[in-house]
Amino acid sequence: MSILVINAGSSSVKFGLFDEETLAPVARGLLDWAGEARRATITLHAGDGEEIRKQLDVPDYRSGVVEALKLLGSLPGAGAGLEIRAVGHRLIHGGEEIRRPVRIDDEMKRKIAKVAHLAPLHIPAGLEAIEAVEAALPGVPQVGLFDTAFFGDIPPCAYLYPVPYRWYEEWGIRRFGFHGTSHAYCTQRAAEMLGRDRNGPRLVICHLGQGGSATAVRGGVAVTNTMGFTPLEGFMMGTRSGTLDPGLLLYVLREHGLSVDQLDHILHHESGLLGLSGVSSDFRQVEAAAAEGHQRSKLALDVYAYRVRAMVGALAVTIGGLDALVFTGGIGENSPWLRSEVCTGLECLGVELDASRNADCHPDQDIATPGSPARVLVIHTREDFMIARETRRLVFGSI
């Protein structure tokens, strides 16, 4: 008996199958449209490593998910007589109202649809996936976990913007925070690694991948996150600009004739590492180019590290100090250079990085010097595991 986890994006859907009793991974899959509306590629991996790849001709998104679920259920390595007893969904945005994992029914689908404008690429896809499960697995309970939920307790002083208050009252404009499932997992895992109750350590968690954000955590609760009303705020990212002077945006609109749609595209798709380096949005490729002497790539990396370091310092102040700095995500887990650059200058917060541990790091590991007042943890994030566990808890009452 298994729990299925679905992470639905605008052009791809990730699947994970977990044993209901042990939460061990059983199988995983990826459904990818790759820019073709009626043709998708499904790639499935069983627990024994066997891979199945198949082209699907599907008329729409929902049909693609239905077909993928049928294939996943028949995957040889997943075990004979496979029974999916619950499904958990990663949903990007719950707005102000949805701040905890929820059972999904018709009323909840209506609530989710009401905030679709806050994440127009992801929420409609998530709803399509929910309805695909209803078609393929009728009667199977479904649960939604929201990236914004982990930040449901941040105080007004952290989530309000200094704009007319009626913007918040009438339009709901406030900081939400994102990557919450990853930050929640790292909060728990860091407490385990430190040998402390999860309500104890003061943490700054850096989730660094194609998208990136940091969260300040005190007493097991998020105090704030660097992302805001949208995932565009905060760190410089692969193709996203991160935080900018709003006057700069007004300037290019007025003085250089950009349309709102052009500016939106540039900030989301032509900025960040790609925009500065001119090489790639992939951190690994920019690192390689910098190592070969490409000056704009080196500059892009320096800006990236500077902005992470500056925001880590700001977040540490909000929680009154630092017990551990956590790196996670594809870049956070795999770039010794980036970890070293971020930590250089944070000695004032008690961060003392061990160079040899950093260079030879494999998650989950503490890479601070033995005497460092603050620990430096590299953690492999497991968002799908968190979704499976919360789904099991909500449906079956089992922790």
Task: Name residue 257's amino acid.
Answer: G
Instruction: Tell me how crowded residue 354 is: count the other CB atoms within 10 A of its CB.
Output: 17
CA dist 43 and 38 (Å) reads: 17
Residue pair 118/112 in contact (Cβ under 8 Å)? The answer is no
**Selected catalytic residue, list 48, 105, 147, 245:** 147
Q: Where are the alpha helices (DSSP H) in the chain?
A: 61-73, 106-114, 123-136, 156-159, 165-171, 180-194, 246-255, 260-269, 272-277, 283-291, 295-318, 329-334, 336-343, 355-359, 383-396
- At 88, list the tokens: 């958990």
Starting at the earlier edge strand, list the strands of the sheet with 51-57.
51-57, 39-46, 25-32, 12-19, 2-8, 84-91, 142-146, 102-103
Secondary-structure breakdown of the chain: helix, strand, coil percentages, each rounded to the nearest 5: 40, 20, 35
Q: Is 147 among the catalytic positions?
A: yes
β-strand pairing of 84-91 with 142-146: parallel
Element (H, E) at 89: strand 84-91
Residue with tokens 């018709």: 106
Which residue, among 24, 26, 6, has the nearest Cα to 14 in the 3D structure?
A: 6
Distances (CA, A) of 72 to 2, 51, 297: 12, 11, 41
- The residues that are catalytic are 147
